[in-house]
Chains A and B, each alone.
Chain A
Amino acid sequence: MKLPSFWGGIHPPQKKDATAYKKIEEYLPKGELVFPMAQNLGAPCQPVVKKGDRVLVGQKLGDTEAFVSAPILSSVSGTVKEIGLRLTSAGIYENCVIVENDGLYEKDPSWAPIDNYAEADPKEYLKRIREAGIVGFGGATFPTVVKLSPPPDKVIKWLIVNGVECEPYINCDNRLMLEEPEKIVEGLRLMLRLFPEAEGVIGIENNKPDAIKMMESEVSKQGDNKIAVASLAVKYPQGAEKMLIEAVTRQEYVMTALPADVGCIILNVRTVHQIREAIAAGEPAISRIITVTGEAVAEPKNIHVPLGTSMRELIDFCGGFREQPVKVISGGPMMGVSLRSIDIPVVKSTSGILALTASNAHLAPESACIRCGRCFEGCPMGLMPSVLNPLVLMRDYKAFEETGGMNCIECGACSYSCPANRHLTQSFRDGKSTIMAMRRKAAVK
């Protein structure tokens, strides 16, 4: 039987075996913790603590009044050592709160489960999700409360849990589904209370049969007939929002529309898990699960890490480097961000730390396009990368827009397949951000 999927796409090597069978390990940081104030899409936070303040686990370090935002909470107890600039995974120096860990992990007493949470007013959930600082842990870090508050005229028919994890190497979502399926299903059931007309779908790529089985048995154990597990074809980028919606609901939508316009809300498995933890256990979003892997890492692991922990500590925890890495990436190899240093804190968007050696990291120079059409076949959005690329290089942004360039989801399928090593995705990122900047400028005038 042909499994549901989408048009286009590529099949990069999975390389998940190094960590697919490794249990999630707990890690407690030793040194200082760094909390960048910009960890979500939307408005960055402002520090609400001062140098010298004592902070507790779960205490607010930064917040803002803006709607599209999420507060930053401390993952340890200790003293605020400094508020200043630090290098982050964005590749720039950003405003950070630095906390000296006292190793006591004394918890802010105001964090407790919502009373009688299973029957509580669902509005309480939304308040809790905002206060707990929950954002999309899939990588886009969109504030979850905003996602869960669609305009009243939109009827939500599908609440989709994204367990696809189509990035090669990464296993954090896979492991979470295997180890704590009951919390994911419970989190989804709590969220379904917000949308009485919706059914829940847990989408998982077929290369994780154990996770599919585990989630199916958990759904039947909790006896919820509004939740189904969808086994999806193994194809990158199956986990992209638009591709997942197409695979699950057979619906497409235009660039300017949102998932809610086709009756969908998508949440990553870890996000749903964190929602359950915040509501039922009083645990705010102060940690995440990351896969530390890649050919350069001595002992690849899946680790449950307090946010703010230095990546260097985690690499040491994995036995350090067995070989000099050429590239270290925050996230997966297809869409992750390459780092120039490993003295960088883990933030809400860090799904993995991937250290690649010279033989795996792709650094070949560009050559001329041979018009082979592989980029056309790989593009899940039906774009023409080899036509768009010269438009950006010639700075013909108008033609780039007219040819559909703004639809690009930056999945990297075109660059991956290009035999001439053209930097296609990079040029589209450039074109898109230039056009966005021009639009902002025009709006100001």
Chain B
Amino acid sequence: MERLLAVSSSPHIHAQQDTKAIMAWVLAALAPAGLAGIYFFGFRAAAVMAVCVASCKISEYIWQRLAQQTVTVGDLSAAVTGLLLAYNLPPSIPFWMAAVGSVFAIIVVKQFFGGIGCNIVNPALAGRAFMVSSWPVSMTSWTVDGVSGATPLAMIKEGSIADLPGIYDVFIGNIGGCIGETSAAALLIGFAILLYKGIINWHIPVVYIGTVAALTAALGRPAGPLYEVITGGLFLGAIFMATDYTTSPMTKKGQVIFAFGCGLLTTLIRVFGGYPEGVSYSILIMNLTVPLIDKFARPRIFGEVKKHG
């Protein structure tokens, strides 16, 4: 007898890119920044990344087993969360703190809200925010091998403009900061990979960074707009965190509104806030506006309003 044929609803073919492939490309795009982090901060940076990725994957696995859900650790989304969290930590962070932050990100921020696609804020950023309020000293000390490296943004906040590192060092990443955020050059390579593979479109990163540049220039920040955008976590946040599918709007129109909001909040926090950096809180706040943006920034249904008339 002939084998029975499979019957299903059309379409019968499918694009190659599935969730796992997308996550794998995000990891690949994150790799240059990770290598830069290891180069500048040493082997300890690699160890922090390993701790975060492993903690995220293991906690997701255990949670899904306990909750009797389908185990989806294989889709690599937990690995992306772990790596992003590591990139947002100082290289000197104690390993156990990195592990606790990872577990918080996966269990409380992601799984409590329903797992992949359902979390309302970015798990890595929320994990970082949790760690900043729990261990403020460890999270803001940038001492590596006994050399203290205050971040350029902290220096601007303190008013010590003269001591700022040169723009070349800032662009390459040879400055104090979190593991994955310092090298603008490496993050731009990652941006190029994401664009080339069609993982993200340009709207969020470009509008976000452009808004910060324009507003800091308008407000007359002393270091100038170019210096302002390539320091701190702006590139990491704009390219990898604000573009997280689940916590950003689905239409391009919505993404532009969202990115502008992120840029506005980042500038306000940097200029008027008590905190030198503003990227992670801006994105977290804007994450919460996404359902509202999605409600209004809807695509126009064919034929409903005449486009050509």
Write the residues of chain A forming the contact surface with B, with a CB cutoff of 8 angstroms: 7, 10, 12-13, 91, 168, 242, 246, 250-255, 257, 324-329, 333-342, 354, 356, 360-364, 367-373, 376, 379-384, 386, 404, 407, 410, 412, 415-421, 423, 425-426, 429
Interchain CA distance A16-B298 in the complex, whole Å:
36
Interchain nearest-CB distance for B122 vs A (Å): 12
Interchain nearest-CB distance for A257 vs B (Å): 7
Q: Considering only CB atoms, which chain B residue lies closest to A416 in the complex? A: B11
Identify the interface centre among A252, A341, A342: most chain B CB within 10 Å of its CB.
A252
Cross-interface CB contact of A425 among B7, B9, B75, cutoff 8 Å: B9
Interchain CA distance A351-B13 in the complex, whole Å:
17
Pair A364/B14 contact, Cβ less than 8 Å: yes
Apart from A7-B302, A367-B72, A425-B9, list 19 A-B contacts with CB within 8 A.
A254-B304, A326-B5, A329-B10, A333-B12, A334-B13, A340-B4, A340-B7, A356-B13, A362-B13, A369-B117, A370-B19, A370-B22, A370-B77, A371-B117, A372-B250, A383-B299, A407-B302, A419-B17, A429-B9
Chief secondary structure at chain A's binding surface: loop
For the complex, count residues of B whose C-beta is within 8 A of A: 40
State which residues 262-309 of B face A: CB under 8 Å.
298-304, 306-308
- Chain B 133-171 per-residue mask, 1 if CB under 8 angstroms from chain A, else 0: 000000000000000000000000000000000000000
Pair A242/B303 contact, Cβ less than 8 Å: yes
Interchain nearest-CB distance for B215 vs A (Å): 27
Pair A425/B116 contact, Cβ less than 8 Å: no
Interchain nearest-CB distance for B134 vs A (Å): 29
Chief secondary structure at chain B's binding surface: loop
Pair A360/B13 contact, Cβ less than 8 Å: yes
Interchain nearest-CB distance for B53 vs A (Å): 19
Residue B42, interface by CB 8 Å: no
Pair B75/A367 contact, Cβ less than 8 Å: yes
Cross-interface CB contact of B301 among A12, A326, A383, cutoff 8 Å: A383
Interchain nearest-CB distance for B70 vs A (Å): 8
Identify the interface centre among B4, B15, B250: most chain A CB within 10 Å of its CB.
B15
Pair A373/B251 contact, Cβ less than 8 Å: yes
Residue B195, interface by CB 8 Å: no
Pair B12/A336 contact, Cβ less than 8 Å: yes
In the complex, which residues of chain A have a beta carbon less than 8 angstroms from the beta carbon of B77?
A: 370
Interchain CA distance A10-B13 in the complex, whole Å:
12
Q: Considering only CB atoms, which chain B residue lies closest to A13 in the complex? A: B13
Pair B5/A242 contact, Cβ less than 8 Å: no
Pair B117/A340 contact, Cβ less than 8 Å: no
Pair B116/A376 contact, Cβ less than 8 Å: no
- Chain B 49-92 per-residue mask, 1 if CB under 8 angstroms from chain A, else 0: 00000000000000000000000100101000000000000000
Task: Give me the 8 closest cross-chain CB pairs, A-B, nearest first.
Answer: A412-B11, A426-B9, A373-B250, A362-B14, A252-B303, A254-B303, A382-B299, A372-B245
Interchain CA distance A7-B248 in the complex, whole Å:
22
Provide a sorted-by-A list of 8 A–B residue pairs whose CB atoms are within 8 angstroms.
A252-B307, A253-B303, A370-B116, A376-B251, A382-B300, A382-B302, A420-B19, A426-B8
Interchain CA distance A10-B17 in the complex, whole Å:
13
In the complex, which residues of chain B have a beta carbon less than 8 angstroms from the beta carbon of A342?
A: 5
In the complex, which residues of chain B have a beta carbon less than 8 angstroms from the beta carbon of A415?
A: 10-11, 14
Residue B28, interface by CB 8 Å: no
In the complex, which residues of chain B have a beta carbon less than 8 angstroms from the beta carbon of A412?
A: 10-11
Q: Considering only CB atoms, which chain A residue lies closest to B77 in the complex? A: A370
Interchain nearest-CB distance for A14 vs B (Å): 11
Pair A419/B19 contact, Cβ less than 8 Å: yes
Cross-interface CB contact of B12 among A340, A361, A373, cutoff 8 Å: A361
Pair A252/B251 contact, Cβ less than 8 Å: no
In the complex, which residues of chain B have a beta carbon less than 8 angstroms from the beta carbon of A379?
A: 299
Interchain CA distance A340-B21 in the complex, whole Å:
32
Pair A420/B18 contact, Cβ less than 8 Å: yes
Interchain nearest-CB distance for B7 vs A (Å): 5
In the complex, which residues of chain B have a beta carbon less than 8 angstroms from the beta carbon of A242?
A: 302-303
In the complex, which residues of chain B have a beta carbon less than 8 angstroms from the beta carbon of A418?
A: 14
Interchain CA distance A418-B18 in the complex, whole Å:
7
Pair A335/B250 contact, Cβ less than 8 Å: no
Interchain nearest-CB distance for B14 vs A (Å): 4
State which residues 1-47 of B face A: CB under 8 Å.
3-15, 17-19, 21-22
Cross-interface CB contact of A337 among B10, B117, B246, cutoff 8 Å: B10
Residue B192, interface by CB 8 Å: no
Interchain CA distance A410-B10 in the complex, whole Å:
9
Pair B13/A333 contact, Cβ less than 8 Å: yes
Interchain nearest-CB distance for B110 vs A (Å): 11
In the complex, which residues of chain B have a beta carbon less than 8 angstroms from the beta carbon of A407?
A: 301-302
In the complex, which residues of chain A have a beta carbon less than 8 angstroms from the beta carbon of B17?
A: 419
Cross-interface CB contact of B308 among A250, A257, A325, A423, cutoff 8 Å: A250
Residue B115, interface by CB 8 Å: yes
Pair B251/A368 contact, Cβ less than 8 Å: no
Pair A339/B15 contact, Cβ less than 8 Å: no
Residue B219, interface by CB 8 Å: no
Interchain CA distance A371-B304 in the complex, whole Å:
25
Pair A384/B117 contact, Cβ less than 8 Å: no
Interchain CA distance A376-B22 in the complex, whole Å:
17
Pair A419/B21 contact, Cβ less than 8 Å: yes
Pair A421/B18 contact, Cβ less than 8 Å: yes
Cross-interface CB contact of B245 among A251, A371, A404, cutoff 8 Å: A371
Interchain CA distance A354-B11 in the complex, whole Å:
13
Residue B118, interface by CB 8 Å: yes
Pair B246/A404 contact, Cβ less than 8 Å: no
Pair A384/B11 contact, Cβ less than 8 Å: no
Pair A368/B116 contact, Cβ less than 8 Å: yes
Pair A327/B303 contact, Cβ less than 8 Å: no
In the complex, which residues of chain B have a beta carbon less than 8 angstroms from the beta carbon of A7?
A: 302
Interchain nearest-CB distance for A319 vs B (Å): 17
Interchain nearest-CB distance for A375 vs B (Å): 9
Q: Considering only CB atoms, which chain B residue lies closest to A412 in the complex? A: B11
Pair A338/B5 contact, Cβ less than 8 Å: yes
Interchain CA distance A325-B118 in the complex, whole Å:
38
Interchain CA distance A251-B116 in the complex, whole Å:
40
